[in-house]
Copies of this chain bind each other. A is one copy, B any other.
Amino acid sequence: MTSDPFFHPVSGFELPRFAGVPTFMRLPHLTPEHDRFGEVEIGIVGVPWDSGTTNRPGPRHGPRQLRDASTMIRAEHPVTGMRPFEALACADLGDVGPNPADILDSMERISAYYGQLMRNGTRPLTAGGDHLTSLPVLRALARDTTLGMVHFDSHTDLYHSYFGGTMYTHGTPFRRAVEEGLLDPKRVVQIGIRGTMYDREDRDFAEAEGIRLIPIEEFHARGPEDVMAEAREIVGDAPTYISYDIDFVDPTFAPGTGTPEVGGPNSYQALQVVRGLQGLNIAGADLVEVSPPFDASGGTAFLGVSIMFELLCVMAQQTG
């Protein structure tokens, strides 16, 4: 609980929403050198990186556009009444600086940074970045304990490799994470899977490992509430990671992404599924694959930060 106004966002009643240096949700911007860094309970972190992208690049520009759009977010959740910035000390921790021309170097930089957050007791809410981002984040978060995962996406991201053996792309992070023991496949659920397929190699792996796939046809037939009840059951009470690829949402609602698949959920359902995470033990969360070059209007980013606010609200519940 933080009634300290230092951690409160600037209000739109005081400074208009278009004014000011744009930080995530108008929170204070703190780097590790700052003397109040140690107090941060939830840190919003940008990972401007897209070297794992196999098709259309752009998510390296995601964090900046998300920050810009996030100045539209206000203090209180309209349904639950949660006021997350008063419940926990939240801050914009800036961006992890990747090396755009070296994938392995970038992954090390990211894992090292998140390791620092772990030691600081700060839970991360990440703004990607392409989906490979989740792998180095998980390497830090799951250092001591295997995690469950609720994964919203139109793709499984469980492929073995691309282009004749390349192991690190945005189509492979969770294959690696399972192989490395970061995720417990029995506690992983993937929701919204759809689109034409290369083959069944990723699904065979999921089936063999016990990962639960909920294709979009099932999602539309059962509805978000029923699906999320099952998801909560799968991950249970143990620490869980939430990974939200913006391409989970129908590309008409979220055109700013690199590998769209038509026929997805609408923007209301995009929020509903996060509300369905209430009560989980959330170790961290990410919102990835927002690609500004494919939506200069910022509509995708605004939906993205609306989702991030929902994630923040369910993360903020886990406090005395």
Contacts and interface: CB of A to CB of B under 8 A. Distances in A.
Given A16-B97, A75-B197, A197-B76, A252 B251 contact: no
B57 A94 contact: no
Contacts of A22: 21-22, 64, 67
A39 B150 CA distance: 48
Nearest to A196: B74
A195 to B, nearest CB: 6
Nearest to A297: B255
Contact of A48 (B12, B19, B67, B303): B19
Taken together, the copies of this chain in the complex come to 6
Contacts of A23: 21
Nearest to A260: B302
A47 to B, nearest CB: 9
A252 B267 contact: yes
Interface stretch (A162-170, A240-248, A282-290): A162-170
B11 A101 contact: no
Main secondary structure of the interface of A (DSSP, over half): loop
Chain A interface residue bracket vs B = 35 or more
A54 interface: yes
Nearest to A251: B299
A48 B54 CA distance: 12
Given A16-B60, A78-B215, A294-B297, A51 B101 contact: yes
A309 interface: yes
Interface of A: 11-23, 29, 46, 48, 50-58, 60-61, 63-64, 67-68, 72-79, 92, 94-95, 97-103, 105, 162-164, 166, 168-169, 193-200, 215-217, 220, 250-253, 255, 259-260, 262-264, 266-268, 270-271, 293-297, 299, 302-303, 306, 309
